[in-house]
């Protein structure tokens, strides 16, 4: 960069010296040549302005004025009309240098600003891309967690349905075994039946242990962060359904002790149900607040309020039963799993609904003594 600057300064200097020598060495009676040389000074002035901006253009025009002035005074002296014309040319040199340099400098500043804007947009795009990838990963984890929870619920039901007949088969076989003596072929067959029944029972127990959710990893969890993630995950579905989606934060940050991933899964199940129950043009509003309870402690209250079709009284009585659903393609596990998660965190989940008005799902989670922060919600 420094070498390039030095080369440019050297070129401008040589250009000015060459033009000046032509002025001083050319006879005065060749007016047309002096007019040409006089105009040639604009070339180094404009180049200096383009290369070095306002100060470069002004410095070059002043240099030209200084080297050109003696030519006017000593070689053209006594010709007042000619001198005025050439003095005016010196003024124009400086005007052209200043104006050109100023325009170039402003253009460069504008280019720098545009480059900064472009860099900022590129950085924002990269952040947005990273957030999108993170959201996709979170959604995949949530879907996987929901499938595992569904597997656990199904495993519990299947185990109940299988283990009861197994118990009956074993009991019947033990009764029949008393009618035969050891060594009898039928006695051996009954022994085999009892052993196989025990083996099948152990298989069911092993399957239950595998499908049962792992213990929750409880830690400090900011409720607002989990709700914001859920809103991002369902925002596209809300737009497609033309449902207004809003998140209204509490007046202060709320920290609970929870497994953030499982809590997020419960919130997501409720939000998806609310969107599916809300017609086009409706709304889903999520509100958070801090409320006091009778024992003097505080709870975080999260409300999912939709303007959907509502739930009748008969359905409300069964809404938390596994596999009960009013949707043709539903599994009937979403609310059951959500309530199980909330209750596992020491909280409660309630539903208030009226047909034709809408539904409000209310979650209350206990707040530790140091859980309510005084900083404004973000």
Total count of domains within the chain? 3
Q: Please report, for residues 17, 21, 22, 43, 360, the alpha-carbon distance to residue 71 in angstroms, rounded to integers and kept in the order given.
A: 13, 10, 11, 19, 93
**Contact between residue 51 and residue 79 where contact means Cβ atoms under 8 Å apart:** no
Same domain, 281 and 372: yes
Query: Which whole-number Å values give the CA distances from 134 to 124, 159, 223, 227, 233, in the listed order?
Result: 15, 37, 19, 15, 11
Judge whether 352 and 290 are in contact, CB under 8 Å.
no
pLDDT by residue (tens digit) across 312-324?
888 877 777 766 6
What pLDDT, on a 0 to 100 scale, did the predictor assign at position 301? Answer: 92
- The alpha carbons of the chain give a radius of gyration, in whole angstroms, of 43
Rounded Cα–Cα distance for residues 123 and 111 (Å): 18
How many other C-beta atoms lie within 10 A of the C-beta of residue 34? 20
Do 57 and 34 have their domain in common? yes
What is the number of other CB atoms lying within 10 angstroms of the CB of residue 267?
27
Same structural domain for residues 164 and 59? no
Kindly write down the DSSP assignment for every residue of 107-134, as one continuous string.
HHHHHHHHHHHHHHHHHHHHHHHHHHHH
Q: Per-residue pLDDT tens for 170-188? A: 888 888 888 888 878 788 8
Identify whether 133 is part of a domain: no
What is the pLDDT confidence band of residue 334, given thresholds at 50, 70 and 90? confident
- Averaged pLDDT of the chain: 80
Do 164 and 107 lie in one domain? The reply is no
The verdict on residue 47 lying in a domain is yes
233 plus 370 within the same structural domain: yes
Are residue 371 and residue 229 in the same domain, yes or no?
Answer: yes
Confidence of residue 360 (pLDDT cuts 50, 70, 90): very high
Host domain of residue 97:
2-118
Residues 258 and 361 placed together within one structural domain of the fold: yes
Residues 231 and 351 in one domain: yes
Task: Express as a percent the part of the chain with pLDDT over 90.
Answer: 10
Which pLDDT does position 51 carry in this prediction? 86
Specify if 299 maps to a domain: yes
- Would 124 be classed as within a structural domain? no
**66, part of any domain:** yes
Q: Which residue has the higher pLDDT, 74 or 238?
A: 238
Of 127-136, 160-169, 237-246, least confident by mean pLDDT is 160-169
160 Cβ neighbours under 8 A, 6+ residues apart: none
pLDDT value of position 372: 45
Q: Which residue has the tokens 């290369």?
A: 51
If residue 254 lies in a helix (H) or strand (E), which one and from where to where? strand 252-258
Which of helix, strand or coil describes residue 334? helix
Burial class from Cβ neighbours inside 10 Å (0-12, 13-18, 19+) for residue 362 reads middle
């Amino acid at each position: 960069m420094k070498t390039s600057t030095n080369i440019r300064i050297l070129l401008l200097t040589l250009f000015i010296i060459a033009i000046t020598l032509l002025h001083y060495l050319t006879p005065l009676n060749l007016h047309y040549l002096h007019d040409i040389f006089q105009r040639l000074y604009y070339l180094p002035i404009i180049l200096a302005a383009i290369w070095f901006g306002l100060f470069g253009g002004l410095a070059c025009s002043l240099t030209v004025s200084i080297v050109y002035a003696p030519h006017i005074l000593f070689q053209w002296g006594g010709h007042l009309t000619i001198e005025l014309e050439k003095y005016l040319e010196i003024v124009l040199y400086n005007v052209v240098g200043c104006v050109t340099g100023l325009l170039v400098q402003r253009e460069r500043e504008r280019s720098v600003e545009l480059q900064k804007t472009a860099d900022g947009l590129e950085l924002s795009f990269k952040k947005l891309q990273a957030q999108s990838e993170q959201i996709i990963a979170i959604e995949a984890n949530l879907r996987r967690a929901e499938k595992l929870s569904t597997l656990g619920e199904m495993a519990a039901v299947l185990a109940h349905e299988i283990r009861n007949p197994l118990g009956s088969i074993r009991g019947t076989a033990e009764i029949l075994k008393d009618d035969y003596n050891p060594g009898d072929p039928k006695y051996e067959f009954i022994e085999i039946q009892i052993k196989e029944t025990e083996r099948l029972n152990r298989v069911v127990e092993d399957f239950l242990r595998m499908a049962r959710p792992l213990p929750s990893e409880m830690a400090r969890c900011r409720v607002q962060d989990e709700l914001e993630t859920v809103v991002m995950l369902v925002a596209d579905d809300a737009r497609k359904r033309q449902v207004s989606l809003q998140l209204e934060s509490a007046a202060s940050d709320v920290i609970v002790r929870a497994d953030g991933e499982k809590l997020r899964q419960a919130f997501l199940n409720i939000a998806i149900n609310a969107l599916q129950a809300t017609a086009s043009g409706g709304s889903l509003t999520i509100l958070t607040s801090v409320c006091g309870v009778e024992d003097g402690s505080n709870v975080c209250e999260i409300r999912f309020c939709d303007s959907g079709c509502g739930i009748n009284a008969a359905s409300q009585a069964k809404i938390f039963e596994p596999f009960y659903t009013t949707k043709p393609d539903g599994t009937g596990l979403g609310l059951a799993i959500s309530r199980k998660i909330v209750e596992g965190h020491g909280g409660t989940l309630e539903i208030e609904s009226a047909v034709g008005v809408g539904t409000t799902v209310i979650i209350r989670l206990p707040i530790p003594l140091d859980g309510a922060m005084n900083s404004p919600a973000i």
